[in-house]
């Protein structure tokens, strides 16, 4: 299937490129025919075909500056660690004003654990940009498995846990605040638990947002898919080998294009309406430019997906969504049973979206029942009213309602 997909892309890409050039020419203000309704309609159709047929590479973070401490400060990306499957990226804030620089240096250090579940870490761009107003921010930037040579080995769910543990030690867990978004809430809670069990320092606070700590609660279509099919079905239908000329040729992966198809099919009407709206805005010309650009920015990110190593994906399906191993207390990571009750010094904050159709209500809150060693005064839960899955970490609801609670929770727990 992967080979057929690449063949299709190779055939479609020149046509999509031609459609893009044609759309620009037909709609250009200097073209006297662009005012004709039929020409505008043809240009809009060409623009839509270009969007549907083009490739979507990983988008840049694009965070060059933020408002912080009453000033505009520059932001520079710095790769702290580069591993075969993940990079640890630091967003360094800089100011020439000594007083502003001093205050920036005193801000709490926050480690954001991005999902490895289809989209690139840049899906958290708004999360990072907002956090940078008041924090020194690091993030896990996961690599596309198709670009990782087979010689680098296989990536397992256990490897995710130990990658997080390595980064926590490197950044100094005892003075660190961790924010985990969606899928990584399970391996991140596992990583902090294992550090506590080993008598090592744990983060000052751990914020878990919209993740499947216990996927048995308020199951969504994502959860039901995992329980309706046996493990063998996922291995047979979802796993394919990376073709050449990619560096990971021969690696077994869950391809990004299959993941994107699954994302779209969860809400097909929403995406169809968005495409139709884009056609209308493209037909309007200059008057629809703002809405058209907003659509393009969103779908440039949404359509950019990565391949996941087969072992990691299948183990996540089995342990998180079929066996509920963390919630049931049966999860072993490299032979060590994970025990969240061992966590005592890390404050726990769980956040859920009222209308989340990926991680249902109660799934993230379940962390409190597992982290019994954390005093009640250091545990907090919040349901974001009217927010869907993406709304709890991106967009207006995140910036105006959820983020202030995250910021205050960090400050209240040693930040």
CA distances (Å), 231 to each of 82, 155, 316, 331, in order? 32, 18, 11, 17
Query: Do 220 and 360 meet the contact criterion of CB atoms below 8 Å apart?
Result: yes
How far apart are the C-alpha atoms of 110 and 101, rounded to whole Å? Answer: 17
pLDDT band at 26 (very low <50, low <70, confident <90, very high): confident
For the stretch 57-103, pLDDT in tens is: 899 999 999 999 889 999 999 999 999 999 999 999 999 999 999 99
pLDDT per residue over 195-214, tens digit each? 999 999 999 999 999 999 99
Cα distances (angstroms) measured from residue 397 to each of 30, 124, 314, 384: 41, 14, 33, 8
Q: What is the DSSP letter of 119?
A: B
Determine the 3-state secondary structure of 137 from DSSP.
strand
Domain count, the chain: 1
The conformation of residue 152, written as its DSSP 8-state character, comes to G
* Predicted model pTM: 0.91
Asked if residue 140 is part of any domain, the answer here is yes
**Domain carrying residue 197:** 69-230+308-412
Does residue 173 fall inside a structural domain?
yes
Neighbours of 336 (CB within 10 A): 15
Q: Dump pLDDT digits (tens) for 270-298.
A: 888 888 887 887 777 766 778 878 887 88
Burial class (CB in 10 A: 0-12, 13-18, 19+), 58: middle
Report the SS3 class of residue 30: coil
Angle at 396 between CA 395 and CA 399, to 5 degrees: 90
Helices (H), 54-144: 98-105, 125-131
Peptide bond into 141 cis (omega under 30): no
- Domain with residue 313: its CATH number is 3.40.50.1820
pLDDT in tens, 231-274: 999 999 999 999 988 999 999 999 988 888 777 777 788 888 88
Tell me how many helices (H) and strands (E) the chain has.
Answer: 16, 14
Does 204 map to a domain?
Answer: yes
Closest CA to 93 of 125, 126, 127, 69: 69
Residue 373 included in any domain: yes
In the predicted model, is pLDDT for residue 415 greater than 70? Answer: no
**Domain annotation covers residue 322:** yes
- Give a yes or no: residue 303 inside a domain: no
Report yes or no on 37 lying in a domain. no
Residue 43 domain flag: no
Cβ partners under 8 Å of residue 351, min gap 6: 207, 208, 209, 210, 364, 381, 382, 383, 384, 392, 402, 405, 406
Q: Cα(347)–Cα(207) distance, rounded to whole angstroms?
A: 8
């Amino acid at each position: 299937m992967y080979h057929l997909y690449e063949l299709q892309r190779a055939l479609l890409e020149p046509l999509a490129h031609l459609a893009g050039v044609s759309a620009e020419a037909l709609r250009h203000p200097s073209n006297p025919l662009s005012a004709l309704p039929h020409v505008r309609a043809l240009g809009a159709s060409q623009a839509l075909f270009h969007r549907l047929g083009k490739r979507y590479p990983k988008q840049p973070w694009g965070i060059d500056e933020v408002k912080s401490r009453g000033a505009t400060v520059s932001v520079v990306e710095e790769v702290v660690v580069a591993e075969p499957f993940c990079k640890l990226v630091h967003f360094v804030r800089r100011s020439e004003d000594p007083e502003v620089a001093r205050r920036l240096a005193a801000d709490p250090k926050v480690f954001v654990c991005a999902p490895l579940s289809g989209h690139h870490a840049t899906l958290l761009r708004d999360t990072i940009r907002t956090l940078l107003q008041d924090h020194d921010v690091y993030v896990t930037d996961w690599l596309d498995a198709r670009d990782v040579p087979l010689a680098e080995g296989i990536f397992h769910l256990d490897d995710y846990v130990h990658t997080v543990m390595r980064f926590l030690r490197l950044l100094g867990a005892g003075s660190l605040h961790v924010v985990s978004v969606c899928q990584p809430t399970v391996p991140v809670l596992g990583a902090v638990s294992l550090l506590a069990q080993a008598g090592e320092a744990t983060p000052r606070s751990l914020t878990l947002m919209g993740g499947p700590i216990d996927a048995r609660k308020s199951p969504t279509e994502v959860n039901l898919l995992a329980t309706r099919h046996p493990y063998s079905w996922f291995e047979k239908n979802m796993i394919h080998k990376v073709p050449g000329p990619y560096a990971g040729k021969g690696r077994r992966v869950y391809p990004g294009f299959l993941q994107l198809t699954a994302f779209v099919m969860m809400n097909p009407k929403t995406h169809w309406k968005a495409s139709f709206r884009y056609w209308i805005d493209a037909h309007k010309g200059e008057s629809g430019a703002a809405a058209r650009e907003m659509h393009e920015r969103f779908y440039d990110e949404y359509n950019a997906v990565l391949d996941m190593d087969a072992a990691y994906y299948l183990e996540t399906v089995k342990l998180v969504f079929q066996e509920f191993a963390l919630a049931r207390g049966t999860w072993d990571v490299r032979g060590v049973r994970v025990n969240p009750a061992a966590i005592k010094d890390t404050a726990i904050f769980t956040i859920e979206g009222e209308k989340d159709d990926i991680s249902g209500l109660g799934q993230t809150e379940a962390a409190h029942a597992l982290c019994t060693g954390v005093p009640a005064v250091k545990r907090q839960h919040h349901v974001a009213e009217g927010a869907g899955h993406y709304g709890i970490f991106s967009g207006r609801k995140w910036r105006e309602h959820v983020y202030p609670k995250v910021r205050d929770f960090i400050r209240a727990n040693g930040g």
